């Protein structure tokens, strides 16, 4: 069974786009660690309402059984560390992370990170969204930070540049 664990930033930004369901692309189960859930609900808005709805339907909260794994993930945010620890603990390779340091650490752990932009690109390729550029513009308007290089590469891969 293919499973995925998501971090705070992708959950919040996909919820802002009303595209949380993209987390399910290519997997059967999607998890969010307790620390991620706590970070999500620091500020309640329309995005958190969508995440709350997903938690009542298909998004599953998970708790770490071996907190000692977190010791090896120092330097990362609490949510990111729990995503990686949960992935290792549960044998899940697909992790959704936007933070570059967390993504690099995931790779060293043998995990396969994908970010918000990667999920939107996958959705574009599957015909689930009409325009990657429109989605990226909306993301940026909500405070998402993206490098010029990633912006160009994603649009080029989507056939929009």
Q: Note whether residue 123 is domain-resident.
A: no
Q: Note whether residue 96 is domain-resident.
A: yes
Q: Note whether residue 20 is domain-resident.
A: yes
pLDDT digits (tens, 9 = 90+) for 75-84: 899 999 999 9
User: Per the structure, how many domains does the chain have?
Assistant: 1
Rounded Cα distance between 10 and 65, Å, is 24
Q: Note whether residue 154 is domain-resident.
A: no
pLDDT of residue 1: 72
Q: Note whether residue 131 is domain-resident.
A: no
Rounded Cα distance between 40 and 34, Å, is 10
Q: Note whether residue 135 is domain-resident.
A: no
Q: Note whether residue 32 is domain-resident.
A: yes
Q: Note whether residue 25 is domain-resident.
A: yes
CATH number at residue 13: 3.40.50.1010
pLDDT of residue 28: 95
b/e per residue 35-58 (b: at least 16 CB within 10 A): bbbebbeeeeeebbebbbebeeee
pLDDT digits (tens, 9 = 90+) for 138-161: 999 999 999 999 999 999 999 998
pLDDT of residue 32: 98
This prediction's pTM: 0.93
Range of the domain at 33: 3-117
């Amino acid at each position: 069974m293919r499973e995925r664990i998501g971090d705070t930033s992708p959950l919040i930004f996909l919820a802002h786009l009303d595209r949380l369901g993209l987390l399910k692309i290519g997997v059967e189960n999607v998890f969010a660690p307790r620390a991620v859930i706590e970070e999500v609900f620091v500020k309640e808005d329309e995005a958190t309402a969508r995440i709350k709805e997903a938690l009542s339907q298909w998004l599953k909260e998970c708790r770490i059984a071996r907190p000692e794994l977190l010791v090896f993930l120092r330097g990362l945010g609490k949510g990111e560390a729990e995503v990686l620890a949960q992935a290792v603990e549960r044998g899940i390779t697909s992790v959704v992370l936007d933070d570059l340091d967390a993504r690099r650490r995931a790779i060293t752990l043998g995990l396969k990170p994908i970010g918000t932009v990667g999920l939107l690109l996958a959705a574009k390729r599957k015909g689930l969204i009409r325009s990657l550029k429109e989605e990226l513009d909306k993301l940026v308007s909500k405070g998402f930070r993206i490098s010029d290089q990633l912006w160009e590469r994603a649009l080029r891969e989507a056939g929009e540049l």
